[in-house]
Amino acid sequence: MRTTPASPEVLAIDGGSPVRKTLLPYGHQSIEEDDIQAVVDVLRSDWLTTGPKVGEFEEAFAAWVGAKYAVAFSSGTAAVHGAAFAAGLKPGDEAITSPMTFAATANCVLYQGARPVFADVCPDTLNLDPERVAERVTPKTRAVLPVDYAGHPADLDLILQLAERHGLTVVEDACHALGAEYSGRRVGSIAHMTIFSFHPVKHLATGEGGMVTTDRADLVEVLRQFRNHGLSSDARQRQTSGQWHYEMVLLGFNYRLTDIACALGLSQLKKLDANLARRREIATRYTSAFRDVAGVVPPSVRPDVKPAWHLYPIRVDLTKLTADRGHVFRALRAENIGVNVHYIPIHLHAYYRNQFGYKGGEYPVAEEAYDRLVSLPMFHGMSEQDVDDVIQAVTKVMAQFTV
């Protein structure tokens, strides 16, 4: 039931009644009985890890995104690391990526001893600006990692053309973009490698988990070895073949995804279409409601794209408000709307400032956006009432702060 504010114009932060009684988080998984049963079945089976569910999940996932191959990893971060390794990144190399992403994207370049080089983003989508990427290419550049911010695919055609000209590998970080479409194709086989995450706030939840998809047979074996200590075969292959012998052929990690997680992933995959449809419905409702709310700039969508809406990040128009983003954020939290901010641009984090000497001002589009971003709740389990509450709270807060 909606809480009817006693005095709707008084913000909760100023002592009024909140729009909701309980906090609505910005993201949340949906786990149903069949998901639980799938996990229980694996717990009763012979294989908790490196068993049959891994290959089943990889095959089903590859088919769903339209890629030839998929390799499961223990997290999205491990998957980006695997792709950075398979792209051949090593000390002395550079890889160009977006500052407007989660730190893991750039960190994985560092794990390989290579240098992440940031290029500024497009003002509309906050995805890598291909013109800025072109300016950053040097003889040391080996890879580009575009990020599909909030679930809106990056400018993949232009980035792939640039990569072709310079012989670069394109690793698309699609951790936000499972199910997103670019020129009528689902992301997953457009870039040389595409990365997904199965963290609970994402479209498909396995607790922790990730995937690399690719059409390139030459990369698949390297990715499989890298996630399994660099070994030439895994435990199940040895059991099946009756051979004990294996070799360590490269320096890998234990980045395996368990059969428990893969069974959950397989079960969640069946609901992905419905999940995406619901996220798109919510985005449509938000966008039409916020079109007329002064001070709110809804996220923009390019014409050849269908976003997957992992996030719904609005930007506040500071020229129309008497408050800054921090104040709007706190006011919405007080209304029990679990807003968030994605992202602090990576180069502004203490580690990157200290290591690379960033001072702020290097990537003005990302930095200006950061000062204005607020992510509203967006997950497929949201009820119509939840969506109404968010719209009501944003409208209420903005009405107070509009000039």
- Active-site residue, 68 included: no
Element (H, E) at 181: strand 181-182
Residue 283 CA: distances (Å) to CA of 154, 196, 311? 19, 21, 9
Quick check: 176 binds ligand PLP (CB under 6 A)?
yes
State how far the alpha carbon of 46 is from the alpha carbons of 43, 49, 51, 222, 318, in Å: 8, 9, 8, 27, 58
- Output the smallest distance, CB 342 to ligand PLP, in A: 8
Q: Is 77 in the site for ligand PLP (CB under 6 A)?
A: yes
- Give the range of 76-84, 151-159, 219-227, 240-248 binding ligand PLP by CB under 6 A: 76-84
* CB-nearer residue toward ligand PLP: 76 or 153: 76
CA distance 314 to 372: 8
Question: Contact region for ligand PLP (CB under 6 A) — 26-34, 72-80, 239-247, 355-363?
Answer: 72-80
**Residues from 206 through 235 that contact ligand PLP (CB under 6 A):** 210
User: Does residue 296 belong to the site contacting ligand PLP (CB under 6 A)?
Assistant: no
153 near ligand PLP, judged by CB under 6 A: no
Residue 303's alpha-carbon distances to 66, 83, 182, 254, in angstroms, are 22, 29, 10, 41
105 lines the binding site for ligand PLP (CB under 6 A): yes
- Pick the catalytic residue from 21, 90, 202, 396: 202
The smaller minimum CB distance to ligand PLP, of residues 75 and 189, is found at 75
Using the 8-state DSSP alphabet, how is residue 130 labeled?
Answer: H
* Smallest gap from residue 198 Cβ to ligand PLP (A): 6
User: Interface residues for ligand PLP in 132-151 (CB under 6 A)?
Assistant: 147
- Interface with ligand PLP, residue 339, by CB under 6 A: no
CA-only gyration radius of the chain, Å: 22
Quick check: helix, strand or coil at residue 95?
A: strand
Which tokens go with 151?
């679930």
Q: How far is the CB of 176 from ligand PLP (least distance, A)?
A: 6
User: What tokens were used for 373?
Assistant: 């971003």
- Interface region with ligand PLP, contact rule CB under 6 A, candidates 50-58, 97-105, 156-164, 364-372: 97-105
Q: Work out which of 57, 102, 226, 329 binds ligand PLP, going by CB under 6 A.
A: 102
Closer to ligand PLP at the Cβ: 175 or 323?
175
* Alpha carbons 158 and 75: distance in angstroms, whole number: 28
DSSP codes, 46-90:
S-SBSSHHHHHHHHHHHHHHT-SEEEEESSHHHHHHHHHHHTT--
Nearest distance, CB of residue 75 and ligand PLP, angstroms: 4
**What's the Cα-to-Cα distance from 263 to each of 48, 54, 73, 266, rounded to whole Å?**
10, 8, 14, 5
Quote the CA–CA distance of 46 and 56 in Å, as a whole number. Answer: 16
Contact pick of 18, 76, 313, 345 for ligand PLP (by CB under 6 A): 76
Q: Where are the alpha helices (DSSP H) in 128-228?
A: 130-136, 156-166, 217-226
Pick the closest to residue 135 from 148, 114, 120 (CA basis). 120
CB of 319 to ligand PLP, least distance (A): 29
Asked if 173 interacts with ligand PLP (CB under 6 A), we say: yes
Which residue shows structure tokens 């069946």? Answer: 270
Q: How far is the CB of 12 from ligand PLP (least distance, A)?
A: 29
Which one of the spans 85-93, 169-177, 249-257, 259-267 is the region binding ligand PLP (CB under 6 A)? 169-177
Q: How far is the CB of 174 from ligand PLP (least distance, A)?
A: 8
Q: Which CB, 310 or 396, lies closer to ligand PLP?
A: 310
Residues that bind ligand PLP (CB under 6 A): 75-77, 80, 101-102, 104-105, 147, 173, 175-176, 197, 199, 210
Catalytic site positions: 202
